Amino acid sequence: MGMAGGWARAHRVGMAAALLLFLSLPTLSLLAAAQTAADSPPTVTITGNRFTVETLTQATEGFVQDHGHPSPRLNQLTRWERPVCPEAINVPADVAAFLTTRIKTVAGQVGAPTRDGCKRDIEIIFSDTPQAVMDAVADKRSFLLGYHFVNQTKALSKVTQAIQAWYVTAVRDGAVTVVDDPYYASGMHSDDPLKDQFHGNGGSRLSHDMASVFDNIVVIVDTTKIEGETFGSLADYLAMLVLAQPASAVDQCNPLPSILSLFSDACPSAQRVRSLSPADRAYLEGLYSVAPDATGSLQRATIATHMLDSLKTSTLAADGGTPAAK
């Protein structure tokens, strides 16, 4: 693929994502009849085994690793730089409004950018035949699957989870933003308009003056697998999924509870939480307060430290020693 194709992709994603509305989507199977858009997530506190300083430190470090997927170009944690603007597709208007309002509320609470009337950059598609939807995306708009090579398209577009997300990420250097594309390298052509602009500080161990940011996220919700869950739980699950880019958290049962265990077979039902947990909130707060251009290792260490400070008062065992001062 030529440079022009890779560079133009940064400008096509928003418009192309809108075309998802015109894909042939199956009729939504209603969720549980007892659910209403007024459902709200309950307050959750961490219960069960108490932690020592050492085990809590290990748990927070593991939580960060499971919840933060490294960006393909910079090995950083990706976050939103422009306003979070979700749209729920193929659900009644009141349900869509509840879900998107909840996501934007959580975004504002943890420090992610929000704004009324912004351009949609998150498509949440409800379907009872989700694979058919993603097959159409792979066939017609494969760049919405995110960073990948052509021979990975089929495997990448496979729906394996009740709620699954595909992330289009980009690199920002303060002057320009370029969507991550395995076929693009700055300056690979003499007429590259970004040749003299897209750069960073390669000599620093703390920062390279570049940041990984979200450009677009497509989420598929398999309505055959979410029956019985409240809209409040679904909204919080979606919020965690679109504000961060979880690595393996959806397949794990972490020592620290996470909303992302809601549909995980690895986690016993009794250990699953149905709203954002204190650890989830602490992680998101850390993600959106850490320096965006810091190296990935420094970002992860800083977020883990924030989580430890945030959680140790409520989770340390009585015999775990005196917590370090905040």
The secondary structure of 30-61 as a DSSP string is: P--TT--TT--PPP----SS-B-HHHHHHHHH
Please report the pLDDT score of residue 41 as a whole number.
47
Q: Closest Cα partner for 91 from 99, 103, 80, 79?
A: 99
| CA 31/CA 231 separation, integer angstroms | 9
Please report the pLDDT score of residue 266 as a whole number.
85
Do 293 and 280 contact (CB within 8 A), yes or no? no
**Two structure tokens written together for 51:** 């932690």
Please report the pLDDT score of residue 17 as a whole number.
45
Write down the H helix ranges in the chain.
3-18, 53-67, 93-110, 130-140, 153-156, 231-243, 278-287, 296-315
Quick one: average pLDDT of 288-298? 94
Lowest mean pLDDT among 57-61, 69-73, 162-166: 69-73
Please report the pLDDT score of residue 269 as a whole number.
84
> Which is higher by pLDDT, 251 or 197?
251
Quick one: average pLDDT of 208-217? 91
By CB atoms closer than 10 A (0-12, 13-18, 19+), residue 54 is exposed
Measuring CA to CA, how many Å separate 299 from each of 15, 147, 196? 32, 21, 28
| CA 60/CA 82 separation, integer angstroms | 28
Inform me whether the pLDDT recorded for 279 exceeds 80: yes
Q: What pLDDT digit, counting tens, does each position of 31-66 carry?
A: 443 344 444 444 444 444 578 899 999 999 999 999
Q: What percent of the chain has pLDDT over 70?
A: 74
Please report the pLDDT score of residue 232 as a whole number.
97
Quick one: average pLDDT of 10-33? 44
Do 257 and 51 contact (CB within 8 A), yes or no? no
> Which is higher by pLDDT, 207 or 4?
207
Please report the pLDDT score of residue 192 as a whole number.
52
Inform me whether the pLDDT recorded for 113 exceeds 80: yes
Do 67 and 247 contact (CB within 8 A), yes or no? yes
Please report the pLDDT score of residue 190 as a whole number.
54
Please report the pLDDT score of residue 204 as a whole number.
56
SS3 (DSSP) at 264: coil
SS3 (DSSP) at 106: helix
Q: What pLDDT digit, counting tens, does each position of 75-111 carry?
A: 999 999 999 999 999 999 999 999 999 999 999 999 9
Q: What pLDDT digit, counting tens, does each position of 117-146 carry?
A: 899 999 999 999 999 999 999 999 999 999
Please report the pLDDT score of residue 191 as a whole number.
54
By CB atoms closer than 10 A (0-12, 13-18, 19+), residue 195 is middle
> Which is higher by pLDDT, 28 or 162?
162
pTM of the model: 0.81
CB atoms within 10 A of CB 294: 19
Q: What pLDDT digit, counting tens, does each position of 214-260 carry?
A: 999 999 999 999 999 999 999 999 999 999 999 877 877 889 999 99
Q: What phi and psi, each to the nearest 5 degrees, are found at residue 179?
A: -65, 135
Please report the pLDDT score of residue 314 as a whole number.
77
Strand 86-89, strand 163-172: pairing: unpaired
Question: What is the overall mean pLDDT for the chain?
Answer: 81
Please report the pLDDT score of residue 215 as a whole number.
96
Q: 126: which strand partners?
A: 221
**Two structure tokens written together for 20:** 């998802």
> Which is higher by pLDDT, 266 or 45?
266
Q: Closest Cα partner for 284 from 242, 234, 254?
A: 242
Lowest mean pLDDT among 5-14, 74-83, 109-118: 5-14
> Which is higher by pLDDT, 109 or 209?
109
Do 90 and 83 contact (CB within 8 A), yes or no? no
Task: Put the strands of the sheet holding 177-179 in their side by side order.
Answer: 86-89, 122-127, 211-222, 163-172, 177-179
**Two structure tokens written together for 179:** 């969507």
